[in-house]
Structure 1
Amino acid sequence: MTTATARVRTAAAAAGLVGALALTGCSGGGGGGSKDDASPTPSAAPTSTGTGAVTGSSGKLQGSWITTSKGAVVALVITGKQAGLFVTGGTVCSGAAGTEAGMQMIHLTCTGGGKDRVTGMVDSVSKDAMKVTWSGKLGQETYTKAEGGKLPSGLPTAPVKQ
């Protein structure tokens, strides 16, 4: 593995862990089964999407998902109805994920006003992969599930720049 590849994989793992910690770090309590996270979290809802609201559970969307796009690693973390997205290079987004009008949707607000991944519709989700179509020109991305803080095998890597 080259140094650049190792850095990309390390950045992806770090982004996923930071996202998981950011979304779960303030949940209070600990241990085991929760009661559908009864305590409200006012900061979970996006503030600038203006399109609908997530009203139902995020169910199968739960977890840490990784993909690459334009040479950057993208980590999407969904916990409860909260969603966080982290892109190597500095983009950080937060918002909500779950059922809206019978569809699985993701709504994010990104730092710096990024618009690439603001509203996403989940086309399909399985135990290993999730396809999301983002509004705008970005289009569809396929994410691979990262289990236990480890990167999934077969993750594409960015070319080494010399």
Structure 2
Amino acid sequence: MIKQVCKGAVTVAAVVALSGCGGTGPDGVEPPESPSPAATSAASPGGVAATPGGSGGKADALLTGTWGTRTSLVVLRVRGRAVEMMGAHHCQGEVAKEGGLHVIRLTCDDGNTDRSVGRVYGLSADGMTVEWEGLGADSFERAR
């Protein structure tokens, strides 16, 4: 029980700390958005084609924000189409609508591929589930 509480506290602390990243500067002005990374591959092992811009391309505005898990200590930060994942691995990529679903494609700095392609399910203002190809699912909560 104490171990779960500690893991939850660490996750909350990480999400709170990271949710401040990229906010407004000392003068109250938000910095310009960095350019979106390029698509990482033409096709994924699971058969979902990575079409630059996807089918309609732009991800749902509801997805934008900072999201954290309680169990695997993963934080996702979504700004427009750009996605950054922090945790045991640091990864960057993009999200696009493909076949009616939001699909996240990431490339990790250290070459890890555990969470390279994920499909978003159950997206709401407070939570979502990302099903990662070959890994399983993570349940995310929006950072406040």
Normalising by structure 1, report the TM-score.
Answer: 0.63
Higher helix share: 1
Structure 2 residue aligned with 1:30: 29
Deviations 1:19-59 (CA, angstroms, capped at 9, x unpaired): 762x668xxx935xxxxx8x771xx2255333313422332
CA RMSD of aligned residues (A): 3.2
Amino acid at match of 2:78: I
Structure 1 residue aligned with 2:106: 108
Q: Report if the CA contact (8 A) 1:134-1:140 is conserved.
A: yes
Structure 2 residue aligned with 1:124: 122
Matches within 5 A, 1:70-149: 72-87=72-87, 90-136=88-134, 138-147=135-144
Structure 2 residue aligned with 1:13: 13
Q: Report if the CA contact (8 A) 1:19-1:84 is conserved.
A: no
Q: Does 1:64 align with 2:66?
A: yes
C-alpha distance in 1, partners of 2:123/2:98? Answer: 16
C-alpha distance in 2, partners of 1:57/1:4? Answer: 33
Q: Which runs of 5 or more residues in structure 1 are unaligned?
A: 32-36, 148-162
1:3 offset after TM fit, Å?
A: 9.6
1:98 offset after TM fit, Å?
A: 3.0
Q: Aligned residues, how many?
A: 131
Q: Does 1:50 align with 2:42?
A: yes
- Which aligned segments of 4 or more residues in structure 1 are displaced greater than 2 angstroms? 2-21, 44-51
1:11 offset after TM fit, Å?
A: 5.9
Percent identity at matched positions? Answer: 25
Structure 2 residue aligned with 1:153: none
